[in-house]
Structure 1
Amino acid sequence: MSGKGAPELTVSNCGDLRVAVIAALWHEKVMDGLVDGALGALRELGIDEPTLIRVPGSFELPVAAKVLADRGYDAVVALGVVIRGGTPHFDYVCQGVTQGLTQVSIDTGVPVGFGVLTCDTEAQALDRAGLEASRESKGHEAATAAVATAATLRALAEPWR
């Protein structure tokens, strides 16, 4: 399973961070699980009022992430799912989304949690969506990683003692 070796992240003093969650609309059941997992993680971290926006699909996540990063959010969580079909479309979308979200983070200095599932089958996506029968909650993981990184970056900005 892909979750093997995941770190146990401990994040504190982050309730004042401004966090946005961007979620694609394709594959509603999977997306509902990812969004619930991300929002649950943020609540656990003391972030009670994150911004949630929806975009048509995963390919639109990078441009929305860039706008939010430019508007002063401390972290952005990008959630989507792309399921392999019979054409190269899967490869182009996955590559574009991954490169786009990475570029947003590098260009802006704002952490972008990568909660985009790139699966061969719908069953694989459901298993990672954070639903009751799922083995993993990638939305939760992406939100926690984004906030942990934002907290680390904030600590780096503080003067050394």
Structure 2
Amino acid sequence: LEAKIEPEPVIFVPGSFELPLAAQLSLDSGFDAAVVLGVVLRGETPHFDYVCQGVTQGVMQVSLTRSKPIGFGVLTVDTVDQAIARSGASGSKEDKGFDSTVAALELLRVKRDLPVLRKS
């Protein structure tokens, strides 16, 4: 898949709960895909659960209603150390931002190839 990846614009939002709308606005403005990145850190109240559920469902709804992929790189963690370990930072074990970008690109490939696959 040849992809023209545009690192701009990066859209900053006040919190993870605002990511679904930011993704929707991006897709509606003409982008073929989006990647959402964020961290939700568990606190002492159930707020964590509400935010995680809302963000996950919201991003999925936008992706499905627009038929466009959204890479989901929202880390839901208990500690800052867990977030760093998944962030792609030097010495981290994982890079969920990279992984979610690859997932969005793979779905673009599937979307591109699906009409060809149906004909064979």
TM-score between both structures, scaled by the size of structure 1: 0.69
Residue in 1 aligned with 2:119? 160
5+ unaligned residues in a row in structure 1: which ranges? Answer: 1-11, 16-46
Residue in 1 aligned with 2:44? 86
Residue in 2 aligned with 1:71? 29
CA shift for structure 1 position 103: 0.3
Give the whole-Å Cα distance in 1 for the aligned partners of 2:65 and 2:83: 30
Give the whole-Å Cα distance in 2 for the aligned partners of 1:65 and 1:115: 12
Pairs within 5 Å for 1:10-49: 12-15=1-4, 47-49=5-7
5+ unaligned residues in a row in structure 2: which ranges? Answer: none
Change (3 A) 1:53 1:136: same
Runs (4+) of structure 1 exceeding 6 A deviation are: none
Q: Deviations over 1:38-61 (max 9, x none)?
A: xxxxxxxxx255432111110100
Give the match's secondary structure for 1:151.
helix
TM-score between both structures, scaled by the size of structure 2: 0.91
Residue in 2 aligned with 1:139? 97
Between structures 1 and 2, the one with greater strand share: 1
Give the whole-Å Cα distance in 1 for the aligned partners of 2:115 and 2:19: 28
Give the match's secondary structure for 1:52.
coil
Give the match's secondary structure for 2:38.
strand
Do the aligned partners of 1:77 and 1:115 also contact (CA within 8 Å) in 2?
yes
CA shift for structure 1 position 142: 0.5
Residue in 2 aligned with 1:31? none
Q: 2:102 aligned with 1:113, yes or no?
A: no
Provide the aligned length of Structure 1 versus Structure 2: 119
Pairs within 5 Å for 1:48-63: 48-63=6-21
Between structures 1 and 2, the one with greater helix share: 2
Q: Deviations over 1:78-111 (max 9, x none)?
A: 0000010000010000000000000000100010
Aligned-residue RMSD, C-alpha: 1.6
Residue type of the alignment partner of 1:76:
A
User: Relative contact order (alpha carbons < 8 A, sep ≥ 6): 1 or 2 greater?
Assistant: 1
Give the match's secondary structure for 1:55.
coil
Q: Share of identical aligned residues, percent?
A: 51
Do the aligned partners of 1:14 and 1:151 also contact (CA within 8 Å) in 2?
no
